[in-house]
Structure formats: C-alpha cells, structure tokens
C-alpha cells in the first residue's frame, strides 16, 4: 500500500500524513488541519462530489425524513455523503446514503477503532464496508466534548456543500456551517417553521445568507449536476394501495398526525383504519414516533 502506513494490521487502520500523495487534497487548502489522519475503510474519492449532511441529535420526524431522503437521492446520483456519525440527523444521513447504494464517510471525535455512540454500531460497520471512518485522533483516543467541534472543521473542509437539516440556535451543526463559510464552502439549510426550536438554527443561517435547500435538485444544482427521476422510484411511489389504504396513506404527512385526525379525513371505523396503519408501518411506508401518532416515512 504505497503512500499508506498500516497503523493497526488487525483492524486495517491506515494512517495518511500530509506529505503523502494519498492525503486528502481538500484538507491541504486550509490552516489548522491535522498533520495526519487515520482511516478504517477508505477515503472519499477526490474527483467525486461530496455533500456533508449535519443536524440535530434530537431531531424531529420532519428532519429525519428529509435527512434520509436527501442522502439517499444524492447517493443515487453518485454523490458521496459525509457526516459525524452522531445520533439523530448524522446517523440518518449515513443510513440514507447506504440505502441509496452510495458511499458514506463518518468523521469521529475519537479514535477510528471506537464506535461512538455505541448505539450506531450497525451504521459504523456498514460505513467501513461502504466508505470509511475518519479521525485525526490516534486509535484508542476516547471521545471528549472538545474533540467534536474540532472534527467539524474536517467534515466541512472535505465537502463541496454543507447541508444543515435541523439545528437549534446553539448547535454543533452551526459550528460546522461556520467552518464551511470560513473555508468558502457552500452552505444550504432546510427551512422550518419559525416557532420550531429545531428550525431556529437553520432559519438563522438562511437569514445570514445560506442557501435554501428547497429540494434535492437545489443541492445537485450547487454541484452542477442534474436531477434525474428514476422510473423505479416512480413505480415505488405508486404503491398500489386499495382505495381506503391510499386515502389513509395520502393523509399522513411529514409532521405527526394522530389517529383521531385520520379518522376525520378517511371513512372507516377505528379497527379498520388501525389495521391499515399497521400494514403501512410493516411495509415501511409510515412510522409511529409516539403512540397513535403517525408520520410518513421515506418512500
């Protein structure tokens, strides 16, 4: 492996140093970048567009839906997705990219041999197989609070576009956005309701000049790429539901809707509608964030 140092043969942790050809060129453009980085898996392809998707750990169903959908569609268009593997938006973005058959990269605030948070072990293993885990800290380094703002500068520097999905007014995602702006990267934010705490950070970014992420087409446009509607997705959206089932599905939105509200919109009794809602959940069309409230899942 020319230009690469195997740091840990058992786990195949690679070490790349600044003076090596394989070191990410994107990181060489800025000051205060690590002199070496450690990788489990592989590094992103330099010539292929990269989008960072970041956001709140305690995200809403609205944010979860869009993080997954944007990441999945970007991956289907050949875009690499990078994030911080945190709970919430970060983890969902990695899942979306994997669901889209793409490559995704997680930048950690600890050693690459430590899965943090531990709840994301499945995602961690999948990223190693379909992308890479990256860190500037040496293997074995534990996660510390001050490590995470540091890693954000690497996420933004490696991306062509930084997409913020949901963020409170004081959020680590805004640190990533600030780094991106300083680095001359494009920052896009998903708009939200003005009275929603999780949208205040995004709305503030937009007021400060960030682009508005109306759709995946907006993100692709920033990369000089064209959005292509895939026939298989169109067919999948036509899920062939029976009339009542279609009505139930159509009235479920991206914000949670309770069973009583659904019954007011769709003819039928509680038992019948509840059965249809369960079927839609088992099919992955909707999910139940809390009891008797339903929200549309990615389709």
- Answer whether residue 2 is part of any domain: no
Do the bridges between strand 131-135 and strand 104-107 make them parallel or antiparallel, or are there none, so unpaired? parallel
- Show which of 163, 188, 222 is a domain's final residue: 222
Is the same domain home to 116 and 246?
Answer: no
What pLDDT was estimated at residue 288? 81
Domain shared by 60 and 207, yes or no: yes
- With respect to residue 80, please indicate whether it lies within any of the assigned structural domains: yes
Q: Tell me the β-bridge partners of 257.
A: 294
Residues 256 and 272: their CA atoms lie apart, in Å, by 20
Name the H helices within the chain.
61-76, 89-99, 121-129, 147-158, 172-182, 197-207, 216-222, 231-237, 243-251, 259-265, 270-282
**What local confidence, expressed as pLDDT, does residue 241 receive?**
58
Q: Is residue 281 part of a domain?
A: yes
Same domain, yes or no: 167 and 274: no
Q: Are residues 56 and 171 in the same domain?
A: yes
Question: Do the domain assignments include residue 3?
Answer: no
On whether both 209 and 268 belong to a single domain, the answer is no
The answer to whether residue 283 sits within a structural domain is yes
User: Has residue 191 been placed in a domain?
Assistant: yes
Domain identity same for 138 and 239? no
Could you tell me if 248 and 152 lie in one domain?
no
In the prediction, which pLDDT does 242 show?
Answer: 63
Place of tokens 């509608």: 273
Asked whether residue 142 falls in the same domain as residue 258, the answer is: no
Domain that holds residue 131: 11-222
- Is-contact 162 156, C-beta < 8 A? yes
Q: What is the mean pLDDT of each run of 10 residues along the chain (299 residues)?
A: 51 90 92 93 95 94 90 95 96 95 97 95 96 96 92 96 92 91 94 86 92 92 83 49 81 83 84 88 81 76
Nearest CA to 110 out of 120, 100, 95 is that of: 120
CATH number at residue 109: 3.40.50.450
184 and 129 inside one domain: yes
- The residue from 200, 222, 244 where one domain ends is 222
Q: Are residues 31 and 118 in the same domain?
A: yes
The answer as to whether 211 is a domain residue is yes
What pLDDT was estimated at residue 231?
52
What are the angstrom distances between the C-alpha of 246 and each of 226, 243, 276, 298? 31, 5, 10, 16
Based on the fold, state whether residues 262 and 164 are members of the same structural domain: no
- Rounded to two decimals, what is the model's pTM? 0.76
Considering the domain boundaries, does residue 172 fall inside one?
yes
Number of structural domains, the chain? 2
Residues 90, 130: one domain? yes
199, 222, 245 - which closes a domain: 222
| CATH number of the domain bearing residue 283 | 1.10.10.10
**Residue 28: what pLDDT?**
92
């Amino acid at each position: 492996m020319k230009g690469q140092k195997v740091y840990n043969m058992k786990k195949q942790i690679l070490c790349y140093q600044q003076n090596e050809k394989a070191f990410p060129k994107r990181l060489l453009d800025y000051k205060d970048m690590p002199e070496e980085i450690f990788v489990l898996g592989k590094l992103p392809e330099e010539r292929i567009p990269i989008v960072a998707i970041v956001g709140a750990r305690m995200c809403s169903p609205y944010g979860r839906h869009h993080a997954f959908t944007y990441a999945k569609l970007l991956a289907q268009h050949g875009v690499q997705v990078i994030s911080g593997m945190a709970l919430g938006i970060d983890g969902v973005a990695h899942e979306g990219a994997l669901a889209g058959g793409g490559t995704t990269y997680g930048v950690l605030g600890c050693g690459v041999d430590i899965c943090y948070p531990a709840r994301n072990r499945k995602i961690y293993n999948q990223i190693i197989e379909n992308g890479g885990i990256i860190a500037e800290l040496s293997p074995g380094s534990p996660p510390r609070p001050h490590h995470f703002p540091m890693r954000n500068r690497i996420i933004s520097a490696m991306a062509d576009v930084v997409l913020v999905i949901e963020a409170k007014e004081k959020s680590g995602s805004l640190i990533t956005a600030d780094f991106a702006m300083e680095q001359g990267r494009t920052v896009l934010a998903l708009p939200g309701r003005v009275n929603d705490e999780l949208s205040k950070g995004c709305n503030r970014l937009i007021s400060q000049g960030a682009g508005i992420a109306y759709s995946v087409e907006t993100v692709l446009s920033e990369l000089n790429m064209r959005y292509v509607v895939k026939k298989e997705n169109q067919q999948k959206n036509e899920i062939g539901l029976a009339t009542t089932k279609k009505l139930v599905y159509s009235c479920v939105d991206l914000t949670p809707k309770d069973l009583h509200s659904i019954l007011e919109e769709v003819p039928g009794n509680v038992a019948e509608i509840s059965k249809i809602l369960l079927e839609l959940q088992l099919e992955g069309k909707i999910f139940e964030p809390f009891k008797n409230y339903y929200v549309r899942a990615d389709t």
